[in-house]
Amino acid sequence: MSARTINLTLKIWRQRQGEKKGAFETFEARGISTDSSFLEMLDVVNENLTLSGREPVAFDHDCREGICGMCGAVVNGRAHGPEAGTTLCQLHMRHFQDGDTIAIEPFRARAFKVIKDLAVDRGAFDSIIQAGGFISVNTGSSPEANSTPVPQENAEAAMDAAACIGCGACVASCPNASAMLFLSAKVSQMALLPQGRPEAAKRVLGMLRKMDALGFGNCTNERECEADCPKEISIAHIARMNREFLKASFFSKEK
């Protein structure tokens, strides 16, 4: 943990609330500890902006330990920055060099409107989950937990999918702004578990139609989502969802 300090030039996207257009603004970040996280570096920039009478850069963040999914921006052309399997809050400045120029812009997609600066509205993800990303069990009506065994292998695969934090990096990095990885993580998790089977057909149809209606793009198997996903969720889950979709469309009674 031996820290150095570095100086950086930042090109940050600024967009006022309620406006459709924005532009890059350049800032100097001096004396940044390499032990800082990327967001802590932005904190320093914002403190200086505040003191100099300018408005700080708006960016979403919360847990700062890579699990809440609230943070995210496109840093030097990559969602959550250049490190694999890392959220922006967990990206540390030791991965940058003194004198680097860093471009920071919001996740961009028609379905993710920019609220202000780097903060975007990802409410579309909630809408997708509302369209079926759950098991319809009322509180109190559940059977004894061990009455339904789940093969360990399936539970593990379901957990791989369930690790999704809903950050939107998959959409941001997809050349088509598709939300298929997000969608498939939930569909796949539920499809792998016996508890999820009764509603499997209804779930996949509902969620996919919702995604289409919200203006996300179509998956063309470019695998960018998988490469930028901070939880490294595999596109094998997209294939499983496709399978579920075809099964539901052609062999279930759901219309």
Binders of another protein among residues 133 to 162 (CB under 8 A) are 133-146, 148-152, 155-156, 158-159, 162
H and E: helices and strands count for the chain? 8, 7
Site for another protein in 210-249 (CB under 8 A): 211-212, 215-228, 235-236, 238-246, 249
Residue of 14, 100, 115, 202 interacting with another protein (CB under 8 A): 115
Nearest distance, CB of residue 18 and another protein, angstroms = 8
102 lies in the binding site for another protein (CB under 8 A): no
Site for another protein in 178-207 (CB under 8 A): 178, 180, 189-190, 193, 195-196
Give the single-character DSSP code of 37: B
250 lies in the binding site for another protein (CB under 8 A): yes
Nearest distance, CB of residue 184 and another protein, angstroms = 10
Tokens of 80: 């959550």
Q: What angle do CA 74, 43, 171 make, to 5 degrees?
A: 20
Site for another protein in 7-66 (CB under 8 A): 17, 24, 33, 35-37, 39-40, 43-44, 47, 49-51, 53-56, 58, 60-66
Place of tokens 């593990």: 156
96 lies in the binding site for another protein (CB under 8 A): no
166 lies in the binding site for another protein (CB under 8 A): yes
69 lies in the binding site for another protein (CB under 8 A): yes
Nearest distance, CB of residue 97 and another protein, angstroms = 15
Residue of 102, 111, 200, 201 interacting with another protein (CB under 8 A): 111
176's CB contacts (< 8 A; 6+ apart) are: 217, 218, 219, 220, 222
Give the single-character DSSP code of 57: P
Label residue 104 exposed, middle or buried (CB < 10 Å: 0-12, 13-18, 19+): buried
How many residues bind another protein (CB under 8 A)? The answer is 132
Nearest distance, CB of residue 158 and another protein, angstroms = 4
The CB-based long-range contact list for 127-131 (8 Å cut-off, 24+ gap) reads 127/210, 127/214, 128/179, 128/182, 128/183, 128/186, 128/207, 128/210, 128/211, 128/214, 129/186, 129/207, 130/210, 131/206, 131/207, 131/209, 131/210
Cβ closest to another protein, residue 57 vs residue 99: 57
Secondary structure (DSSP) of 69-92: -----EETTEET-SSTT--GGG-B
Nearest distance, CB of residue 99 and another protein, angstroms = 18
β partners of residue 153: none
Cβ closest to another protein, residue 98 vs residue 121: 121
Residue of 73, 165, 200, 233 interacting with another protein (CB under 8 A): 165
